[in-house]
Amino acid sequence: MIITCPNCNKQFKIDNSLIPDEGRDLQCGSCNVVWFYKIEEKNNDVLELKEEIVSEYIETKAENKKDKIEEKNNPQDIINTEINNKKKEENSEKQKNTSTLKKTENKGSKFFSYLIVFIISFVALIILIDTLKTPLINVFPGIEIILFNLFETLQDIKLFIIDLT
């Protein structure tokens, strides 16, 4: 249960078994105020409905709504609703066109995003392998030649890219 200090309003979570039915003194850990606390019995009575719902009121509201709908169906309102429907259709077509453009742009940008993530991950893997080269060679003696060839290939690629610029 949660108990609130009457002085500073600090709340504490306390186990129910720590407070007997007759109550006990408690001390706030924040402001050191001591007060008597007793567990209060909450009202467990079943709530009963003492009034019946009158259905006539509901029926009259429904009838009023039907009258309002019939009033709205005059020719001017029908024309206005048709114009509004056409505008909504035009707006939805515009949104579809813009969404297809965005989808094609997203595909291109997603490809470059994935490419960048791949390149960064590859570089991180190479750095990790270079850092752990000695322990890897101790565990797998035959991997020394493979790692040497890998680093030489990367060095050649680096020189090739530098020569292109």
Predicted confidence (pLDDT) per residue in 86-136, tens digit: 777 777 777 666 655 555 556 677 888 899 999 999 999 999 998 999 999
pLDDT at residue 41 greater than cutoff 70: no
Range of the domain at 146: 132-164
Model confidence at 26, pLDDT cuts 50, 70, 90, reads confident
Q: What is the pLDDT of residues 43-75, one digit of tens each?
A: 555 556 666 655 555 556 556 555 555 555 556
| The pLDDT value given to residue 15 | 82
Is residue 31 in some structural domain? yes
SS3 26: strand
How far apart, in whole angstroms, are the C-alpha atoms of residue 128 and residue 34?
A: 61
Percent of the chain with pLDDT over 90: 18
- Asked if residue 28 and residue 67 are part of one domain, the reply reads no
- Asked if residue 142 and residue 101 are part of one domain, the reply reads no
| The pLDDT value given to residue 84 | 72
Is residue 77 in some structural domain? yes
Is residue 86 in some structural domain? yes
User: Total domain count for the chain?
Assistant: 3
| Range 40-79 burial, b when 16+ CB lie within 10 A, else e | eeeeeeeeeeeeeeeeeeeeeeeeeeeeeeeeeeeeeeee
| The pLDDT value given to residue 165 | 77
Is residue 52 in some structural domain? no
Q: Tokens 């019946």 identify what position?
A: 52
- Asked if residue 62 and residue 33 are part of one domain, the reply reads no
In this structure, which amino acid lies at residue 139?
Answer: V
